[in-house]
Amino acid sequence: MPKVSVIVPNYNHALYLNKRIDTVLAQSYRDFEVIILDDCSSDNSRDIIERYKNEEKVSAVVYNEVNGGNVFAQWDKGISMAKGDFIWIAESDDYADSHFLSATVAQIEQRKDIMLVFSASYLVDGDGGIMERDWNLKSFRSQEASKMYEGVSFVKHNMVFCNPVFNASMVLFRKSAYEAICKDLYQYKLCGDWLCWARIASLGKIIYVNRKLNYFRQHLNKVSPKAELQGLYYSEGYRVMEAVAELLSFSAYQRLVIKARMAKRLWANETMLPEYKKELIKHYSAPLWMNTFLYEFDKITNLSTLQRMI
């Protein structure tokens, strides 16, 4: 049985699919299987996938006859088919360094209570050129090659207001952890991974590998830019924040601070379409000045204990 199951969920990424699959098959760590899922792509993805179906490492290829419309349903399908103890969701428009698996598997195998390992990532453009932007948290960039965190503490101080594990392709996680608490992600279109990583982390320890072993592609055909216009980060993101607050048994004051932070950012947003913004603002009863005051007050006092990164 393979130790790692690599799941490649694809939809209309024919342009990037060869590089995605090639960089999976070229991993220096060799104890893995590859499961390729296509969600009824309308481009020539199927032709490309067919070239790989007889590769030794490819254990399954599944084509949906109707588009499911939800990547997390594809995650569920792939993970239910997986034979490995560890899962790598290798998103079809990204690609990887050949040592991604060797580095992350070495970390997760240290202890049974390590639930998740994630690496630093490059942002790359549609042509694969490395971009100057860096989404890796500043507090991570100067630390040692790898660092272990208590999962609950990491979530509290790093995952309430944002998702530092910003791309599934940068993560290796335990299948058993996902199956225990991440089976309802299909309710989300954008932020399901954020909730998934927070839940998995809360079950034990996590490790950050301070090496850029993943290439996270930014291009116009991604879900995220379209979702930004519709304010999905604010609608789904707030639901995730509430779920994390419930997960960690936050106080009423801590929950108010979370809501104030989200309201402050919503008011400042200039990219969302006005009709979506107007609808979302209705969910925040306190006026802007009150939310701004509460959040800025808490930034100074940290009464919520949520402000400091670790």
- What size, in residues, is the chain? 310
The answer for 128, left when phi > 0, alpha when psi is -120 to 50, beta otherwise, is left
Q: What is the pLDDT along the chain (310 residues), one digit of tens a residue?
A: 999 999 999 999 999 999 999 999 999 999 999 999 999 999 999 999 999 999 999 999 999 999 998 999 999 999 999 999 999 999 999 999 999 999 999 999 999 999 999 999 999 999 999 999 888 877 676 667 899 999 999 999 999 989 999 999 999 999 999 999 887 888 888 899 999 999 999 999 999 999 999 999 998 666 666 677 778 888 888 899 999 999 999 999 999 898 888 888 887 777 878 887 777 777 766 666 677 788 889 989 989 988 765 4
CA atoms within 13 A on the CB side of 207: 23
Phi, psi of 199 (to 5 degrees): -65, -45
Closest listed residue to residue 11, CA positions, set 53, 45, 36, 34: 45
Q: Which domains does the chain have, with CATH numbers?
A: 4-217 (3.90.550.10), 225-301 (no CATH)
Residue 114's DSSP bridge partners are 205
Distance CA 261, CA 254 (A): 11
Q: Note the pTM of the prediction, 2 decimals.
A: 0.92
Are 241 and 258 contacting, i.e. CB atoms less than 8 angstroms apart? Answer: yes
Sequence-distant (≥ 6) Cβ neighbours of residue 110 within 8 angstroms: 207
